[in-house]
Amino acid sequence: TVSAAVTETKSTCPYCGVGCGVIIESQGTQITGVRGDPDHPANFGRLCTKGSTLHHTAAQPITLQSRLLQPQRRMVRGEAPTAIDWTEAMGLAADQFHRVITQHGPDAVGFYISGQLLTEDYYVFNKLAKGLIGTNNVDTNSRLCMSSAVAGYKLTLGADAPPACYDDLQFADTLFITGSNTAYAHPILFRRIEDARRANPRMKIIVADPRRTETADVADLYLPILPGTDVALFNGMLHVMLWEGLTDHAYIAEHTNGFEVLRDRVRDYAPKEVAKLCGISEDALLQAARWFAGVQPQHSGKPRRSTLSLYCQGLNQSSSGTMKNAALINLHLATGQIGKPGAGPFSLTGQPNAMGGREVGGLANLLSAHRDMSNPDHRAEVAALWGVPDVPALPGKTAVEMFEAAADGEIKALWIACTNPAQSMPDQATVRRALERAEFVVVQEAFATTATCDYADLLLPATTWGEKDGTVTNSERRISRVRPAVQAAGQARHDWLIATDFAQRLEARLRPGLPPLFPYDTPEQVWNEHRESTRGRDLDITGLSYAKLDATPAQWPYRDGETQGKVRLYEDGIFPTADGRARFADTPNEPLAEPRDARYPFSLNTGRLRDQWHGMSRTGTLGRLFGHVPEPAIEMNEQDMARMKLADGDLVHVTSRRGSLVLPVQASTQVQPAQSFIAMHWGEEFISGSSSTGERLAGVNALTTPAYCPRSKQPELKHAAVKILKA
Ligand code: SF4
């Protein structure tokens, strides 16, 4: 036999928002290797355990057990689906959605999509829902990931745009890492933090987190704040800065509005009370405020040292997520720590393309290219771009609302793409009721193993990493190409193509004879349309093309005629608000949605493991990744375990107001007394349980609360009150 030559293809890692470049090696139809792309500015050749084992996950025997390889229809719920061809599948989908729309109106359907889709996929789904059907019921698992960051940026800086970049790590004198276990969730960025620390031994690292994570291990100052006290901490730090004269009066006067209201607010946040509320020492609070402000000892007149904040789900996944984001940004504005090298608030995106989804407006309350749904001029611009009479004005159902509406019978047809809500959404009892009650459920997926597949009336096989073609945007606004190394497995099709086919069929039913809205044959055509929609906007990418991105990934904005993107935003002190000034937000400290009480005396926190990704569809197939943490457990403080006479490995019932799980317990030095932690990845193969009314449930989201931030609608996945009893 003659073996095929090895082909190398540059692409992007499909896991986290660091967005590392990879080089895929393939032979014929097989992906045989992967290594870091030394030329990619996100990672310069490095990969973490997940990225460096991608080829093993792609080289799994591709069978009906692991991948969806052909469209399937489930004639009777609860029974096995049967194979059908694509024409029949797409005709069925179009008929069912058309029936529901005609009988019940456009808002009776909903699309729940994913931050793991490519920008092109996102674009078509968004246009399909808002432009063709006329519903804003298109939301995504990015709602569970980044919507508080979006709301926080817009409230204070005027636009959803992370102002800093990865290179700022090397210029920062103080790093404030809050609500982020960067070491586990963004490993290659953490390597860059370690590099920066080595190059600048004067750098101070502050970590604020209820859990003493691996990230906290590198901190010069660790603040073990109690759950839900982030805003109190930030307001308390500002109080100290004001008291000690550490704010930047000139910056506040020249570039901001609203400081007086905030100053009055934080007057009540005296260090002693704040320290007590947060569960930290007063000295630690004072130290954090001084380091953050970047003022040299004794006000020596030297320029301020630079402070960069990194934050993620600890701030976002909260019933006061927007306030937490805004209170942190307040600190940057009050000290002028923004728009200069090594400074700024820098939200890290959990998913690989949460940013791209936001750019195309792929959420229920957003419009294309950062336009505002509530602005009639913006709606008219989008309608004109798409060639439709109008787009709906009222926000659609966000993630939690969408499944609650389906559980209530209001949404009757659901289209779920590239995500697994039957594991990843909070309050699983409601989600599963929604999937059962909906009249028609389409699941568009690469993997056959997700819990949501069991609820599908129609299963549509999608391509996945190594097969897909398009673009993604990482945390630092950098757009990278995703390229196919091998052909699609089985009959799998690209997500944008499935959405386009469906849209064309629905178009023929809803607006026959009118010019086509979805004339796409390639992902590049979709991207070019998206690019045009950004013209004149803050994220303008009219100077970019697939060809330029093929040469090198680039940051936005990158306007027509420019030769490079913008590394750092707001260097001129002008913000994308009506008067060009940033806005301080008035940020009261709001209580947890579900505080601990006598019946549910433990706080439950959730989060990532180093070597797993989301619901483990891909990473769960590799023993090498599984070996890091082979079993689920609930982590508790050893004092609590001693008091409750629990030993490592003992089984416990963990119960919230919504459900109950049985799990082994494990002593942890990371978890404080009266707190507990369960990793988010384990699904029904690993953790079984039941709802409060006896339905079978699984995974940590049997316990979590659907309470969400009223501004961002992001649910509070980071805190639920639970009781823990020996089984
Ligand atoms: Fe992939 Fe994130 Fe690891 Fe980079 S840090 S290799 S993007 S999982």
Whether residues 130 and 179 share a domain: the answer is: no
Q: Which CATH number does the domain housing residue 314 bear?
A: 3.40.228.10
Q: For residue 564, is it within any domain?
A: no
Pairing between β-strand 413-417 and β-strand 109-113 as defined by DSSP bridges: parallel
For 665-717, write each residue's pLDDT tens digit: 999 999 999 999 999 888 877 777 777 777 777 788 999 999 999 999 999 99
For 50-90, write each residue's pLDDT tens digit: 999 999 888 656 665 589 999 999 999 999 999 999 999 99
Q: For residue 588, is it within any domain?
A: no
The answer, yes or no, to whether any atom of ligand 1 lies below 6 A from the CB of 16, is yes
Distance in Å, CA 437 to ligand 1 centroid: 38
Task: Read off the tokens for 285.
Answer: 């609070």
- Quote the number of domains for the chain: 4
Nearest CA to ligand 1 atom 4: 20
Whether residues 367 and 509 share a domain: the answer is: yes
The secondary structure element, H or E, covering residue 6 is strand 6-12
Distance in Å, CA 540 to ligand 1 centroid: 27
Residue 438 Cα distances to 67, 92, 408, 416, 646, angstroms: 25, 16, 9, 12, 43
Domain closes at, from 284, 316, 348: 348
Pairing between β-strand 478-482 and β-strand 554-555 as defined by DSSP bridges: antiparallel
Q: Could you identify the atom of ligand 1 that is nearest to the CA of residue 19?
A: 7
The answer, yes or no, to whether any atom of ligand 1 lies below 6 A from the CB of 48, is yes
Q: For residue 593, is it within any domain?
A: no
Question: With helix as H, strand as E and coil as C, how does 596-653 read?
Answer: CCCCCCEEEEEECCCCCCCCCCCHHHCHHHHCCCCCCCEEECHHHHHHCCCCCCCEEE
Distance in Å, CA 40 to ligand 1 centroid: 12
Distance in Å, CA 166 to ligand 1 centroid: 14
Asked if 560 and 684 count as a contact pair (C-beta separation under 8 A), the reply is no
Domain closes at, from 306, 331, 348: 348
The answer, yes or no, to whether any atom of ligand 1 lies below 6 A from the CB of 53, is no
Question: With helix as H, strand as E and coil as C, how does 655-679 read?
Answer: ECCCEEEEEEEEECCCCCCCEEEEE
Task: Read off the tokens for 411.
Answer: 């949404």
The answer, yes or no, to whether any atom of ligand 1 lies below 6 A from the CB of 406, is no
Say how many C-beta atoms besides its own lie within 10 A of residue 441's C-beta.
Answer: 23
Q: Could you identify the atom of ligand 1 that is nearest to the CA of residue 51?
A: 6
Whether residues 230 and 112 share a domain: the answer is: no
Predicted local confidence at residue 539, as pLDDT:
97
d(CA 700, CA 427): 9
Look up the pTM and report it: 0.96
Whether residues 459 and 359 share a domain: the answer is: yes
Q: For residue 589, is it within any domain?
A: no
Q: ipTM, 2 decimals?
A: 1.00
Whether residues 267 and 304 share a domain: the answer is: yes
d(CA 722, CA 703): 8
Choice from 12, 22, 24, 43 to test ligand 1 binding pocket (greatest atom count within 8 A of CB): 43
> Which stretches of the chain score pLDDT less than 50?
1
Q: Which CATH number does the domain housing residue 38 bear?
A: 2.20.25.90
3-state class (DSSP) for residue 131: helix
Whether residues 171 and 239 share a domain: the answer is: yes
Distance in Å, CA 647 to ligand 1 centroid: 35
Q: For residue 594, is it within any domain?
A: no
Backbone angles phi, psi at 197, to 5 degrees: -65, -40
Whether residues 124 and 223 share a domain: the answer is: no
Distance in Å, CA 61 to ligand 1 centroid: 24
Asked if 423 and 432 count as a contact pair (C-beta separation under 8 A), the reply is no
Whether residues 364 and 505 share a domain: the answer is: yes
Asked if 392 and 113 count as a contact pair (C-beta separation under 8 A), the reply is no
Q: Could you identify the atom of ligand 1 that is nearest to the CA of residue 474?
A: 7
Q: Could you identify the atom of ligand 1 that is nearest to the CA of residue 187?
A: 5
Whether residues 341 and 435 share a domain: the answer is: no
Q: For residue 474, is it within any domain?
A: yes
Distance in Å, CA 51 to ligand 1 centroid: 5
Choice from 34, 44, 47 to test ligand 1 binding pocket (greatest atom count within 8 A of CB): 47
Contacts of 236 (CB under 8 A, 6+ apart): 266, 269, 270, 271, 274, 275, 278, 285, 289
Whether residues 163 and 307 share a domain: the answer is: yes
Whether residues 362 and 339 share a domain: the answer is: no
The answer, yes or no, to whether any atom of ligand 1 lies below 6 A from the CB of 47, is yes
Q: For residue 366, is it within any domain?
A: yes
Contacts of 186 (CB under 8 A, 6+ apart): 16, 17, 18, 180, 312, 348, 475
The answer, yes or no, to whether any atom of ligand 1 lies below 6 A from the CB of 357, is no
Q: What is the DSSP string of 394-455?
A: S----HHHHHHHHHTTS--EEEEES--HHHHSS-HHHHHHHHHHSSEEEEEESBS--GGGGG
Predicted local confidence at residue 301, as pLDDT:
66
The answer, yes or no, to whether any atom of ligand 1 lies below 6 A from the CB of 15, is yes
d(CA 689, CA 703): 10
Whether residues 197 and 243 share a domain: the answer is: yes
Q: For residue 334, is it within any domain?
A: yes
The answer, yes or no, to whether any atom of ligand 1 lies below 6 A from the CB of 50, is yes
Q: Which CATH number does the domain housing residue 359 bear?
A: 3.40.50.740
Q: Could you identify the atom of ligand 1 that is nearest to the CA of residue 52?
A: 6
- For residue 217, the enclosing domain spans 151-348
d(CA 477, CA 554): 8
Domain closes at, from 348, 378, 404: 348
Asked if 619 and 633 count as a contact pair (C-beta separation under 8 A), the reply is no
Distance in Å, CA 46 to ligand 1 centroid: 9
Rg over CA atoms, the chain = 25
Q: Which CATH number does the domain housing residue 637 bear?
A: 2.40.40.20
